[in-house]
Structure 1
Amino acid sequence: MYRIISLLLGYLFGGIQTAVMYSKLKGVDIRNEGSGNPGTTNVWRVLGKEAGITVFLGELAKSMIPVMTSKLLFKKNKVIAALYTTIGTILGHSYPLYSKFKGGKGVAVTVGSIYMVNFPLGMITSVLFFTSLAITRMVSFSSMVMTGSIPFLLAKFFKGKPYTKEAVTLGTLVSLITSYRHEANIKRIIAGTEPKLKKKLK
């Protein structure tokens, strides 16, 4: 039962469309601008750095709060509860009930959720993301590198635990959702047409 509650908790919070709400305050609908994706990256490109950071912080908040809540509610099963909430948050962000099931790609909410599942694990995924970004200058590819590492890190961090297999399975699902949501990006990466950051990270 705690799995279902955790999943629903994440979904309801994840469905809060931070990017859409913020962009409308600025007089635009981010879904009609740039790539049309209601997420941090598109807001950053269309409305600027300050807007991107603001939305990113909002995405972190809406993902961290439900994961922390599920860990407090289900202390005996906090890791698995947190991972189900993570998946719920990603699904809520990607397919929001409040916006006709049309949402973003869920990268920022994945970051916030994973940090709450296990802080050191979150730090490692961030290092992988920024390392990949510095080399490739592609946010989409780096996002997939980051989420692709999650099941392997979960296997390492929770090795020998009675819930290891379930944790790795849930981590794999997070990776698969990210890859599915980046299907168009994958095609552009293969074709060599995926947009890159204008300047290399220093």
Structure 2
Amino acid sequence: MNIVASLLIGYLVGCFQSAYIISRFKGHIDIRKYGSGNAGTTNVIRVMGWKAGILTFFMDLLKAAFGVYLGNLIFGDMLYGYYTGVGVVIGHNYPVFLGFKGGKGIAATLGLLLAVDWRIGLIAVGLMAVIIFISRYVSLGSVIMAISIPILMAVFYTDQWQYILLGAILMASALYTHRANIKRLLRGEENKLGHKKNLTENKQ
């Protein structure tokens, strides 16, 4: 029951959609109708600029960290904080109040990792940053970071199978939400960071 409760609490926290709120108040638009149609940091950067994108990123990161903290506080166990964080990522990706159409969960995943174990979080952030810096592909950095999660969990939490399992779930979630990006990467058609969509350009 604690696991179910943790996931539900996290899900409700995750439904707080930063990109949607910022686009409504700052740009008076629904970000999901522009650019890639994704309610996440990269699309906000491309449609609305770096300031709005960075604000979106940190709000999503902090809400996941808050979810982990809340779960740990309520149940007195970081494992349940971890479950709550996973719930935040699910809620971010599939928010019930927005027709289950949200983001891809990368910033939220990073916030979760930093809150659960700052060592793993920093490695994940560093790995993603290096890949993006070298390739200029945010999606590639996100995918490689996601693949590293269960590996890092297995290294730091060898005897705690639930930590590794949740890491595998986070990886699978990220790969699924990035499935179109992966296809474009393989075809050499993915947009690099810095490619900006015009505000009047509807999603494709």
Instruction: Give the alignment's TM-score, normalised by structure 2.
Output: 0.91
1:198 Cα deviation (Å)?
Answer: 4.3
* Cα contact 2:71–2:82 (8 A) shared by 1: no
Paired residue type of 1:183: R
* Cα contact 1:96–1:103 (8 A) shared by 2: yes
* Cα contact 2:46–2:194 (8 A) shared by 1: no
Aligned to 2:179: 183
- 2: CA distance between counterparts of 1:45 and 1:131? 20
- 1: CA distance between counterparts of 2:46 and 2:194? 11
- 1: CA distance between counterparts of 2:19 and 2:193? 20
Identity %: 41
Aligned to 2:193: 197
1:98 Cα deviation (Å)?
Answer: 0.6
**Which residues of structure 1 form unaligned runs of 5+?**
none
SS in structure 2 at match of 1:52: helix
Aligned to 1:46: 47
1:148-189 residue CA offsets vs partner (Å, 9 max, x unmatched): 1111111111223xxx11111110010000000011001101
Aligned to 2:164: 168
* Count of paired positions: 194
SS in structure 2 at match of 1:149: helix
- 2: CA distance between counterparts of 1:155 and 1:5? 25
Higher relative contact order (CA 8 A, sep 6+): 2
* Cα contact 2:157–2:164 (8 A) shared by 1: no
1:74 Cα deviation (Å)?
Answer: 2.2
Say whether 1:152 aligns with 2:151: yes
SS in structure 2 at match of 1:85: helix
* Structure 1 residue runs of 4 or more that deviate by more than 6 Å after TM superposition: none
**Which residues of structure 2 form unaligned runs of 5+?**
196-204
Paired residue type of 1:123: L
- 2: CA distance between counterparts of 1:97 and 1:81? 22
Cα 1:66/1:40, change in 2 over 3 Å: same
SS in structure 2 at match of 1:140: helix
What CA RMSD, in Å, does the superposition of the two structures yield over aligned residues?
Answer: 1.3
- 2: CA distance between counterparts of 1:85 and 1:198? 34
Aligned to 1:3: 3
